[in-house]
């Protein structure tokens, strides 16, 4: 997890961040109920209350640091690759890069596997593959690139929306969050690697 805990699970509202923002209890309960409902479509899981455990597994699957996700997206941006290439092997080359308006969508397909260990052998196993779509919108971002790494955000906001679906049906309301990149997103290690 990143030093400050800003992961995709925080953006989805599944983990609570330092501001105590996350899914309301009512919304969390609805998500657990939807996960249970989908699991109960499998006869072997009908007698079991697997919703809470499935939510734990989904949350764990989304504990990818936002900085890593942004790095994977930004490696595809020409101006960032060019700035990174100029300073990759040179100790004193830094670049300030501005992204006035930028948006990107990132899709994950976490799977949740449920094994009914209390059932007689063979142990029944069910896997549900979810779709999690994370939309990033960046506004007024200024970052410092040093030795092919984004080492610091000087300014900018990141607005995100996260949708969780199973077989194209939403499991929860879209969760929106806004981060002040300079103040809230701590970059791990040497920063976001763009090489």
Q: Which residues of the chain have pLDDT under 70?
A: 1-5, 17-20, 80-81, 83-84, 87-93
Task: Write b or e for each residue in 101-116: b if 16 or more Cβ atoms lie within 10 A of its Cβ, otherwise e.
Answer: ebebebebebebebeb
pLDDT of residue 14: 92
Kindly provide the residue ranges of all beta strands, DSSP E only, lying in the chain, ordered along the sequence. 94-108, 111-115, 125-129, 131-146, 149-166, 169-170, 175-180, 192-193
The DSSP code for 120 is P
What integer pLDDT is reported at residue 3 of this predicted model? 44
Q: Are 105 and 56 in contact (CB under 8 A)?
A: no
Measured CA to CA, the distance from residue 144 to residue 163 in angstroms comes to 31
17-53 as b/e: b if 16+ CB within 10 A:
beeeebbeeeebeebbebbbebbbebeebeeeebbeb
- Nearest 5°: phi and psi at 74? -75, -20
């Amino acid at each position: 997890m990143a030093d400050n805990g800003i992961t995709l699970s925080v953006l989805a509202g599944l983990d609570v961040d330092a501001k105590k923002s996350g899914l309301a209890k009512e919304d969390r309960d609805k998500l657990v109920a939807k996960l249970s409902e989908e699991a109960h479509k499998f006869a072997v899981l009908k007698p079991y209350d697997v919703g809470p455990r499935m939510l734990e597994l989904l949350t764990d699957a989304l504990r990818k640091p936002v900085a890593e996700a942004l790095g994977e997206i930004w490696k595809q941006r020409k101006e960032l690759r060019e700035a990174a290439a100029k300073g990759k092997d040179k100790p004193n080359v830094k670049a300030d890069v501005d992204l006035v308006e930028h948006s990107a969508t990132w899709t994950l397909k976490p799977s949740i596997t449920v094994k009914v260990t209390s059932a007689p052998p063979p142990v029944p196993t069910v896997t549900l593959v979810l779709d999690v779509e994370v939309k990033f919108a960046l506004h007024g971002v200024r970052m410092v690139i040093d030795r092919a790494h984004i080492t610091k955000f000087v300014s900018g906001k990141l607005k995100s929306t996260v949708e969780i679906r199973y077989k194209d049906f939403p499991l929860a309301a879209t969760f929106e969050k806004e981060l002040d990149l300079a103040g809230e997103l701590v970059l791990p290690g040497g920063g976001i690697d763009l090489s």
